[in-house]
Amino acid sequence: MSHRRRSHAAVAPPPPEGDGGGSSPGKAGRIRPWPERRVLALAMAFRAANALLVRTYFNPDEHWQCLEVAHRIAFGYGHLTWEWKRGLRGYLHPLIFAALYKFLAFLHLDTPWFMAMAPRLLQSVFASFGDLYLYKLSKLIFNEHVAQWTLFSQLVNWFMFFCITRTLSNSLETVLTVAGLYYWFVAIESSKGISVISKQQATSYQSPQSRKMALLIAALACAIRPTSAITWLYVGLLDFIQIKFKCQFLFLEVIPLGAIVLAVTTFLDWWMHGSWVIVPLNFLKFNLFSSGGDYYGTHVFHWYFTQGFPSMIWTFLPFSVFGIIKSREWKLSGLIAWVLGVYSILGHKEFRFVLPVLPLALMFSGYCLAAMSQFKGKTPHRKRHFSRLQLSVIFLIITNVPMALYMSLLHQRGTEDVMFYLSKEAHDGRVKGVLFLMPCHSTPYYSTLHSSLPMRFLDCTPSDNKGILDESDRFLMNPLDFVGEVFGNLSSFSHIVLFESEERHVLELLSRNSFQEVRRFFHSHFKIDRALQSSVAVYSTMDVL
């Protein structure tokens, strides 16, 4: 993915003023560079606060496909969903957090607060390195001025704040994608520098170490999230066309590094699954080739372009579009379009699937803001043009920060709060068993409770026979009859958790079994995909009270 040389090339010295940097806003010499340690420190402090402010529930995979599995590895108990039994998930990502849990237990810090917050704090460290590498990538492709505004865009964007510190595999995939792209572009600049310095060296095969690092990071991203191959297929193929030593590149770099990572992850999966399983193959086969993800709902083809990605980038969208057009970095902007286009082919769509290209779009927003700030030095109407930049910054802040805080602190927080409450109750010995009468995977589970107590939730494992309803659907259709038929007199549970929208249907049954309300937690102001789930209620038996 070759690109025009910018004023901050990786190898060659900066070109003279007015040469080679015509498409980058601002002169690099006018901007005081920020030390990378300062950028990393700022990012770490910001993301740590970010992690502590994220108190809401977004996607079940944050808990059920990562932390729940990690808790099972570390402590011997935790629920494995059907995906793990079919070999659709790999253990590399959960093992990172299993090591964290072991560390907390060793220090006797596996208390309710640390068990709930430590995983997101660890992810915040990864996220801060993602911020740093986005800053470095922007500086490499454009210049210091653009890099600083890119960092601003990255930190202010509401969806990045809302999602990047969550323990989703997509969050770590995003960090690895940005870091890998940085090393890939460094390798391109290194190759240019070598060819300029010595034509004789260009006749022998040389591989920049940064390209090997990029390939290694890309392989890790694909191991954690196999669909990351969509991104790296585009990046690799565009530059493969221009690489002189194609066979050496394939057989001395791509295949060996990919094989090593595949071998290590396959060994880990064999060790944990207890049998040989190639997770990337199973994952791609289920999600791409058999449309297995459609079980969880589908969207129209254009959803990512008209609803999904615009909602994520939000009010940065016009700035990003302007930056794409003004910078003329078509190959990098083409990567964004490629990822959105390929994912659009799949029926099942989610915001988090295209999270890895959101930082790239925000980088173009940074380019636009840097270009706007340049105008103030080229026109006598400085105050007016400065005000345009200032108003743009204020506009971006007031349209992103309140939304980030609302979505992170308020919207759908009840299911997180109720598990934190139950974990403290269980820690004090006041819980004997919990029944969740709500759609499956609506709350965290053992990874937050951290007590080996009997719990039961409504199962939603896909059936091989179409038309058969799972327990979640059966409960929502007729709550009272379902509970009476499946759970009988409810005597094996001390606590029952349910949404307010279903509560009224089973109040009489709960009363007959000596349950009464003990706590209620706010959950949402408006409905998402079902009836309004405004609050989460906790009922407990008299003997526990």
- Looking at the structure, tell me whether residues 453 and 422 fall in a common domain: yes
521-527 average pLDDT score = 92
- Looking at the structure, tell me whether residues 88 and 231 fall in a common domain: yes
- Looking at the structure, tell me whether residues 346 and 216 fall in a common domain: yes
- Looking at the structure, tell me whether residues 81 and 225 fall in a common domain: yes
Tokens coding 466: 């179409």
Q: Is residue 464 pLDDT above 90, yes or no?
A: no
- Looking at the structure, tell me whether residues 440 and 463 fall in a common domain: yes
Mean pLDDT over the full length of the chain: 88
Query: Quick check: is 367 in a domain?
Result: yes
Separation of alpha carbons 173 and 163, rounded Å = 12
Query: Quick check: is 17 in a domain?
Result: no
Query: Quick check: is 350 in a domain?
Result: yes
Query: Quick check: is 62 in a domain?
Result: yes
What's the pLDDT score for residue 8?
Answer: 41
Which residue type does 79 have?
A: H
- Looking at the structure, tell me whether residues 354 and 432 fall in a common domain: no
- Starting at the edge strand that comes first in sequence, how are the strands of the sheet with 515-522 ordered? 455-457, 434-437, 495-499, 535-541, 515-522
| % residues pLDDT > 90 (the chain) | 70
The DSSP letter of residue 10 is: S
Query: Quick check: is 382 in a domain?
Result: no
Separation of alpha carbons 391 and 397, rounded Å = 10
Helices of type H across 169-292: 169-197, 209-224, 229-240, 246-249, 255-273, 279-284
Query: Quick check: is 324 in a domain?
Result: yes
pLDDT in tens, 161-204: 999 999 999 999 999 999 999 999 999 887 765 544 444 444 45
Beta bridge partners of 100: none
Separation of alpha carbons 258 and 260, rounded Å = 5
pLDDT in tens, 354-410: 999 999 999 999 999 999 988 755 555 555 545 789 999 999 999 999 999 999 999
Using 50, 70 and 90 to split pLDDT, how confident is the model at 23? low
pLDDT in tens, 47-59: 999 999 999 999 9
Using 50, 70 and 90 to split pLDDT, how confident is the model at 295? confident
- Looking at the structure, tell me whether residues 366 and 419 fall in a common domain: no
302-326 average pLDDT score = 97
- Looking at the structure, tell me whether residues 364 and 464 fall in a common domain: no
Q: Is residue 104 pLDDT above 70, yes or no?
A: yes
Q: What angle do CA 528, 534, 540 make, to 5 degrees?
A: 125
Contact 179, 130 (CB under 8 A): yes
Tokens coding 240: 């493969």
Domain assignment of residue 368, given as a range? 36-192+207-374+387-410
- Looking at the structure, tell me whether residues 187 and 327 fall in a common domain: yes
Q: Which residues contact 12 (CB under 8 A, 6 or more apart)?
A: 5, 189, 192, 193, 196
Separation of alpha carbons 429 and 427, rounded Å = 6
Number of domains into which the chain is organized:
2
Q: Is residue 5 pLDDT above 50, yes or no?
A: no
Contact 443, 421 (CB under 8 A): no
- Looking at the structure, tell me whether residues 141 and 226 fall in a common domain: yes
Q: Is residue 62 pLDDT above 50, yes or no?
A: yes
**Poorest-confidence range of 219-228, 264-273, 520-529?**
520-529
Our CA dihedral for 12, 14, 18, 20, rounded to 10 degrees, sits at 30
Query: Quick check: is 480 in a domain?
Result: yes
Helices of type H across 86-208: 92-106, 112-141, 144-156, 158-163, 169-197
C-alpha dist (Å) from residue 90 to 6, 61, 103, 178, 265:
40, 13, 22, 22, 8
Contact 532, 526 (CB under 8 A): yes
- Looking at the structure, tell me whether residues 260 and 394 fall in a common domain: yes
Give SS3 for 456: strand
Q: How many helices (H) and strands (E) does the chain have?
A: 25, 5
Contact 460, 92 (CB under 8 A): no
What's the pLDDT score for residue 194?
Answer: 52
Which residue type does 26 have?
A: G
- Nearest partner of 55 among 400, 416, 404, judged by Cα: 416
- Looking at the structure, tell me whether residues 355 and 446 fall in a common domain: no
Give SS3 for 518: strand
Query: Quick check: is 26 in a domain?
Result: no
Q: Is residue 491 pLDDT above 90, yes or no?
A: no
